[in-house]
Structure 1
């Protein structure tokens, strides 16, 4: 817990590194440790509130004591046995710690005296913007962020079918069902070791939230198309789009992070993709972009963002302010990335702008600013791109939230370039 709080990297990356240094820990125990860590992070503000109420410092150990007492409802006697000081057990409770446990015993983690933002685990930096976004639904949406997400899978249709994958999962006793909307998606509602998943190691299935699958679906790439995934990261959407293309045409995964692109290339090989390649960019204005101006049928910009839509899956993200410069400068970066990537779109081609944010400043506002500066692009309404995607929180764009759709929070807008390019000085 101390490393997660002190290191700027996401909790999953910190935990992975921690486990690599402790290979003796079995898969089942690893799962328990991760689940406990995520549970602590989902209750962080409330536990801190209780500690402050009792005049205690919000240390990692005090937070754990409060969690075990208020959330897991351990009795003082059980806590004494747990904190025994034996090998692999926590050190014995001090007198002050025992007193804290006794004071907290019998209580619940939620209190009517708590401020709403504390009860809903909403950090100060995002509260005002999220209230503007959701209005009367704010509490409902934030409560949904505190639930444990299901495990969503995407079947690689180049190697398997959803029916085959479902059968394999059910044969080992896993409760697996087709995703509500994503055509290649599967939802597993049980907690399990990922090593048990049939098809994961050979690339027949990938772990991918249904919302992320739907964003890839909006790209609507066809066999033979030329496609760019401009902020590809480790390539989850790249793989989904390449499968849509039936291994025909060309998709280029671009990113400024070499490590993520190496991971993308490894996953592409495992998935059996022959139409995917990677391209390391120095920045969003890399010279490669200018050299390939107006060359691609589809360009996806899955922009770096605050990650507010991923809080239920990555509960640590809410406690890390989105980069030191804040949301305003992050939005400015998104605007620059979108404008540069747009140069790659050929006349008549499509640009898809997406984030895993719930903030209008990173979503609708960015699209509006882009359209004002680029009159040769126009919105393609969601009903035209994907009529099967009903219930979006926005009439023209894909807008998913955990409370409304039981997915991570995602936003995506499909923009089309005019078939006849407008005269401009876009030669940068």
Structure 2
């Protein structure tokens, strides 16, 4: 591989914003990739994948390069040098790469690989937390969460079927294969930008991980029902629910962020979905109005996001122990309040993109002992482990409210 100056410099600029200015990696890259119209898909892929790689392995690379945060420009180039050396990429004759100690880099990598905190490049506190909560399982899970995320599509049955989408993408040179047990899922053989295809623009599919697609399936929405997606965000699951309802009935998409609901409206229009009503949660009144009136409620709760580290590697460095304490309390409050929307005989699905029992099984166990929770019966719960599935880490529980 030959390194190009403008692509390497764009990567360094992105890393500076992520590491030193605390910006979100996905947003930084979105802006960086607009910088030069002449960049082709390979150029963009190089910038995005290299940036994510260096973010993912920050602790390991910084230790090998013997640099500490905040990283100045010289130090960012040293991190890049470690990345390139470990991949066997020949460094060009630029001043930034002068005197690269290739053998020392490889030697340090071998040395540090015996220590999980460096090998998996994670903060000490997070490694301890994973070990405390998951025991022997943690090793395999953190390893799986450091792999590159696959690109999974969810076909929109209101507009197309799986075979039609497969064929349309193949004509664009994009090969996919179905996923067993997920009727609307297609997995890409190679990462590529699917958002530029006509099939996407015409609302034939959304990008949604395989684990995430299982949540709406567990909720089992039926045409004509009244369903609430209580933490809808930009609406990936609300769109899935609405499509399974064949556009019949009502999906109330609730969230505390107006901009996310605006994005959901745009997506719904593209998907040809017209049974979603967005509602901004401005006070407890928004929820109280719906108490006892909803057939099925989805609580896709805010969480640590540990299960989706492979697509958001910067989460490792942004997460703090105090935030985890706060988010567990938030999950508990949301369960107590939002579960009251469920009609007698109705159902609730609680889901997180975390693999920590404290955010999952323990939350449900505790909820079932509290006043509101005593009205519910736990029907089923499942943790989707990245090391077993190859997809995102998720937890979901299905509860039925007593008649």
Q: 1:7 to 1:229 in 2, by over 3 A?
A: farther
Structure 2 match to 1:318: 316
Q: Among residues 369, 383, 393, which one is paired with 1:399 in the alignment?
A: 383
What runs of 5+ residues in structure 2 fail to find an aligned partner? 1-14
Q: 1:55 to 1:213 in 2, by over 3 A?
A: closer
* Aligned ranges 1:289-300 → 2 under 5 Å: 289-300=287-298
Query: What do residues 184-237 of structure 1 show as CA deviations (whole Å, max 9, x unaligned)?
Result: 100012021234545111111000000000012111110001011111111000
The answer as to whether partners of 1:151 and 1:188 remain within 8 angstroms in 2 is yes
CA distance in 1, matches of 2:303, 2:137: 22
Query: What do residues 223-265 of structure 1 show as CA deviations (whole Å, max 9, x unaligned)?
Result: 0010111111110001000001000000011111111111011
What runs of 5+ residues in structure 1 fail to find an aligned partner? 84-91, 382-396, 420-428
Structure 1 match to 2:26: 12
- Asked whether 1:361 is paired with 2:358, we answer yes
CA distance in 1, matches of 2:245, 2:69: 57
**TM-score by structure 1 length?**
0.84
Q: 1:55 to 1:229 in 2, by over 3 A?
A: closer
SS of the residue corresponding to residue 315 of structure 1 reads coil
Q: 1:8 to 1:365 in 2, by over 3 A?
A: farther
The answer as to whether partners of 1:169 and 1:198 remain within 8 angstroms in 2 is no
* Aligned ranges 1:34-45 → 2 under 5 Å: 34-45=48-59
- How far the C-alpha of 1:104 sits from its partner, in A, is 3.6
- Asked whether 1:262 is paired with 2:294, we answer no
Q: Among residues 69, 73, 85, which one is paired with 2:88 in the alignment?
A: 73
Structure 2 match to 1:385: none
Query: What do residues 19-49 of structure 1 show as CA deviations (whole Å, max 9, x unaligned)?
Result: 4565564444222211111111222121112
* Aligned ranges 1:107-118 → 2 under 5 Å: 107=107, 109-112=109-112, 114-118=114-118
Q: 1:108 to 1:152 in 2, by over 3 A?
A: farther
Number of aligned residue pairs: give it: 384
Q: Among residues 347, 356, 359, which one is paired with 1:350 in the alignment?
A: 347
SS of the residue corresponding to residue 121 of structure 1 reads coil
SS of the residue corresponding to residue 374 of structure 2 reads coil
**CA RMSD, Structure 1 to Structure 2 (Å):** 2.2
- How far the C-alpha of 1:100 sits from its partner, in A, is 4.0
CA distance in 1, matches of 2:251, 2:37: 37
- How far the C-alpha of 1:405 sits from its partner, in A, is 0.8
Q: 1:174 to 1:221 in 2, by over 3 A?
A: same
Structure 1 match to 2:154: 154
The answer as to whether partners of 1:311 and 1:318 remain within 8 angstroms in 2 is yes
SS of the residue corresponding to residue 413 of structure 1 reads strand
Structure 2 match to 1:140: 140
Structure 2 match to 1:87: none
Query: What do residues 141-161 of structure 1 show as CA deviations (whole Å, max 9, x unaligned)?
Result: 221112112110000000000
- Asked whether 1:277 is paired with 2:277, we answer yes
CA distance in 2, matches of 1:55, 1:142: 24
CA distance in 2, matches of 1:206, 1:370: 33
CA distance in 2, matches of 1:51, 1:106: 11
- How far the C-alpha of 1:379 sits from its partner, in A, is 0.3
CA distance in 1, matches of 2:70, 2:231: 41
Structure 2 match to 1:61: 77
Structure 2 match to 1:390: none
The answer as to whether partners of 2:153 and 2:209 remain within 8 angstroms in 1 is yes
CA distance in 2, matches of 1:195, 1:292: 36
The answer as to whether partners of 1:46 and 1:110 remain within 8 angstroms in 2 is no
SS of the residue corresponding to residue 184 of structure 1 reads strand
